[in-house]
Amino acid sequence: MFDYLQYVRQENFPHIWCAGCGDGIVLKALIRTMDKLGLSQDETVMVSGIGCSSRTPGYVDINTLHTTHGRAIAFATGVKIANPDLNVIVVTGDGDATAIGGNHFIHAARRNIDLTVLLYNNYIYGMTGGQCSPTTPRGANASTAQHGNLEPAFNISGLAIAAGASFVARGDAYHVKKLETLIGKALQKKGFSLVEVVSPCPTAFGRRNKMASPVKMMEQLRDTVVSVEKWEKMTGEERKGRFRTGILRDIEKPEFTAEYAKLIEKMRPEE
């Protein structure tokens, strides 16, 4: 068993997350994976925007930036270009990354810049008032949709694939060991890597949608997850109400900072 306390800022505990929230589960999965990979705490930077998930940097003992709403990937891009040798992790949420931060998200994927993005998807704006996010399911209740959301939900992983990300995976807060494996592969990938983590929000989402308890929400998560291998064998009817987890894309393509370094070298004046 590793000493996870070396990775956290103990003075900032207890944390602010609600009972039953999946954010703490994802945090511990991340630091366990960092330990397994032997990532240097001094050479790793975590960047976040605004939201429940974006409070994560306050609890980890590495280099951290807690930035403005929707701009985490923009800040992280600057960090990575300034020092390409750093391991740069972005922690964000479904609202932070794909609503106000949507353009930064798709263009970082298009550039294939070497960032690892952990996107906690809890279907709602949890910290700022329970408003609809781009992933709130059609018909679900939110503070801005008290009679049911009329809009279809974003497929975040599908968006990243379409935009050009080299690695895209989806995990969940229940199947933690599988999540650690996905995070590990993302951290080791050279290029834009997304791990979408489906996570329960009992307070802002669960209460408004009459979900029985945090435990029941976790059980529902357990029962609706399907591996990518099993998904391919299912009919359209069998897929209804479920979602697939695992690696959705893993390809090799030029990475932005490496190509940028080549350009700088090309432009150097001859001596």
pLDDT band at 1 (very low <50, low <70, confident <90, very high): low
Structure-token pair, residue 203: 């307070």
pLDDT of the residue at 3: 81
Task: Say how far apart CA 111 and CA 109 lie, in whole Å.
Answer: 5
pLDDT band at 4 (very low <50, low <70, confident <90, very high): confident
Fold of 17-267: Rossmann fold (3.40.50)
pLDDT band at 2 (very low <50, low <70, confident <90, very high): confident
Residue 177: partners with Cβ closer than 8 Å, 6 or more residues away: none
112: phi > 0 → left, psi -120 to 50 → alpha, else beta; which? Answer: left
pLDDT tens across 187-246, in order? 999 999 999 999 999 999 999 999 979 999 999 999 999 999 999 999 999 999 899 999
Give domain limits for the chain.
17-267
Q: What is the reported pTM?
A: 0.95
Contact 165, 194 (CB under 8 A): yes
